[in-house]
């Protein structure tokens, strides 16, 4: 641990640059946390302001062809209850989300082949008529599908890299390839989506150095949004025995991401709140500026169980909306009144190419 970490934090706040070694030394040291969070909060205020953007999350299918080791929706989890909303049900939830005042709808699911490019494109076209931004989070697809959805009006896509440690990635994602994941992210960027990515914190075998490389990767690909989550171990998955992700480390990661990607949209995620009640506010004061309240209703809301104990699962979408409004106000911030696209400053400093980048 470098003794001079305050100088590193100060330089990161000023230049938005750190080397892998510098980043790793900050992430490794719990004593840096408050200073990093305060610096990240100042950068957040200067670059993206006091608005907190709310994105209404619709979890529209729990069918998944993948087998990710950490996730309750993995295909080999026979205990997972499977459901699929109809296109009409999805559009009806999007209308409600619009009614709650959300300006973005996030359509998320397992990798469900029932939703062909055309079927999902029809849903996107219908949702776009509501004058909302549409974010997709439906996993890996051929570029043709991504193009069809972009043509139908989709604005953003969330696809976490999960980890930039190739060997760890391939161990935790049987039958998937790190290069294919990268191909998807590249295609999405080329097609003009705002691209969100991110990682899990606390994967067995993950190191601090690899987390530092994750942050540099987000910077190198110029991610528009970066969502990270602590691992929440799921009893019905191969990672059932793993310890949960360290929330202090998660907070240092969020702060580091804000310091290095000052313009990015960064959510305080449900997984954080699940592990540590109150985390949403703490993370919103440590660099984050986005929350994704769940607007899924009824059985589906309970059955979309990536991990157990999901925060707010027993609340109704309407309760969530009032609850979030009060929480944001209590922070002295306000709810964004527009679609909350990434705002670029006049003269953005291009991120340096690194080994992790394109």
Rounded Cα–Cα distance for residues 1 and 214 (Å):
20
Least distance (Å) between residue 348 CB and ligand SAH: 27
Compute the distance between CA of residue 243 and CA of residue 279 in angstroms, rounded to an integer.
18
5, 60, 70, 149: residue in contact with ligand SAH (rule CB under 6 A): 70
| CA gap 307, 341 in Å, rounded | 29
| Binding to ligand SAH in span 297-336, by CB under 6 A | 306-307
Which listed residue (27, 48, 58, 64) binds ligand SF4 by CB under 6 A? Answer: 64
Q: What DSSP string runs through 100-164?
A: TT-SEEEEEES--TTS-HHHHHHHHHHHHTTS-EEEEE-----HHHHHHHHHTT--EEE---B-S
DSSP string, 8-48: HHHHHHHH----HHHHHHHHH-GGGHHHHHHHHHHHHHHHT
Identity of the residue, 97 or 306, whose beta carbon is nearer to ligand SF4 in the bound complex: 306
For ligand SF4, give the closer residue by CB, 111 or 263. Answer: 111
**DSSP result, 167-207:** HHHHHHSTT--HHHHHHHHHHHHHTT-EEEE-BEE--TT--
- Binding-site member from 8, 27, 37, 71 for ligand SAH (CB under 6 A): 71
One of 32, 67, 104, 108 touching ligand SAH (CB under 6 A)? 108
Residue with tokens 């970490």: 5
Note whether 170 binds ligand SF4 by CB under 6 A: no
| Residues paired with residue 105 on neighbouring β-strands, in sequence order | 56, 134
Binding region for ligand SAH (CB under 6 A) out of 92-100, 124-132, 157-165, 329-337: 157-165
* Residue from 48, 61, 85, 110 in contact with ligand SF4 (CB under 6 A): 110
Cβ neighbour number for residue 285 with a 10 Å cutoff = 18
SS3 assignment, position 51: strand
Distance CA 155, CA 40 (A): 27
**The two structure tokens encoding residue 319:** 């309760």
Using CB under 6 A as the binding rule, whether residue 164 contacts ligand SAH is answered as no
- What does 160 interact with, of ligand SAH, ligand SF4, none (CB < 5 to 8 A by kind)? ligand SAH
- Check residue 73 for interaction with ligand SF4 (CB under 6 A): yes
Residue 279 makes contact with ligand SAH by CB under 6 A: no
Nearer of residues 168 and 306 to ligand SAH, judged by Cβ: 306
Q: In whole angstroms, how close is the CB of 58 to ligand SF4 at the nearest point?
A: 14
Q: Does 145 bind ligand SAH (CB under 6 A)?
A: no
Q: What is the DSSP letter of 344?
A: P
Residue 200 lies near ligand SF4 (rule: CB under 6 A): no
Q: Under rule CB under 6 A, which residues in 297-356 are in contact with ligand SF4?
A: 306
Instruction: Rule CB under 6 A: say whether 296 interacts with ligand SAH.
Output: no
Residues lying near ligand SF4 in the complex (CB under 6 A) are found at 64, 66, 68, 71, 73-74, 110-111, 139, 306
Residues lying near ligand SAH in the complex (CB under 6 A) are found at 70-71, 108, 110-111, 137, 139, 159-160, 162, 200, 229, 231-232, 234, 271, 306-307
């Amino acid at each position: 641990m470098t003794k001079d970490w305050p100088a590193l934090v100060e330089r990161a706040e000023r230049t938005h640059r750190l080397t892998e070694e510098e980043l790793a030394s900050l992430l490794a040291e719990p004593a840096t946390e408050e200073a990093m969070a305060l610096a990240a909060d100042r950068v957040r205020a200067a670059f993206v302001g006091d608005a907190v953007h709310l994105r209404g999350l619709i979890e529209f299918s729990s069918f998944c062809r993948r087998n990710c080791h950490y996730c309750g929706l993995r295909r080999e989890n026979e205990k997972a209850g499977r459901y699929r909303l109809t296109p009409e049900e999805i559009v009806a939830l999007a209308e409600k989300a619009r009614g709650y005042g959300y300006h973005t709808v996030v359509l998320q699911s397992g990798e469900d082949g029932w939703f062909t490019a055309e079927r999902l494109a029809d849903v996107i076209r219908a949702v776009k008529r509501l004058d909302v931004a549409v974010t997709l989070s439906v996993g890996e697809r051929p570029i043709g599908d991504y193009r069809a959805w972009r043509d139908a009006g989709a604005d953003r896509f969330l696809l976490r890299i999960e980890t930039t440690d190739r060997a760890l990635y391939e161990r935790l994602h049987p039958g998937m390839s790190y290069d294919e994941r990268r191909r998807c992210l590249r295609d999405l960027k080329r097609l003009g989506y705002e691209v969100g990515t991110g990682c899990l914190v606390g994967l067995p075998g993950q190191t601090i150095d690899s987390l530092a490389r994750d942050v540099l990767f987000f910077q190198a690909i110029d991610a528009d949004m970066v969502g990270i989550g602590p691992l929440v171990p799921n009893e019905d998955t191969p990672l059932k025995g793993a310890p949960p992700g360290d929330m202090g480390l998660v907070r240092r990661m969020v702060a580091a991401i804000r310091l290095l990607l000052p313009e990015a949209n960064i959510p305080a995620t449900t997984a954080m709140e699940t592990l540590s009640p109150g985390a949403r506010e703490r993370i919103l004061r440590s660099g984050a500026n986005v929350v994704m309240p769940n607007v899924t209703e009824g059985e589906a809301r309970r059955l979309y169980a990536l991990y157990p104990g999901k925060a707010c699962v027993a609340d109704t979408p309407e309760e969530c909306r009032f609850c979030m409004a009060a929480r944001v106000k209590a922070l002295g911030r306000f709810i964004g009144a527009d679609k909350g696209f990434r705002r670029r400053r006049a003269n953005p400093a291009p991120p340096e190419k690194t080994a992790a980048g394109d």
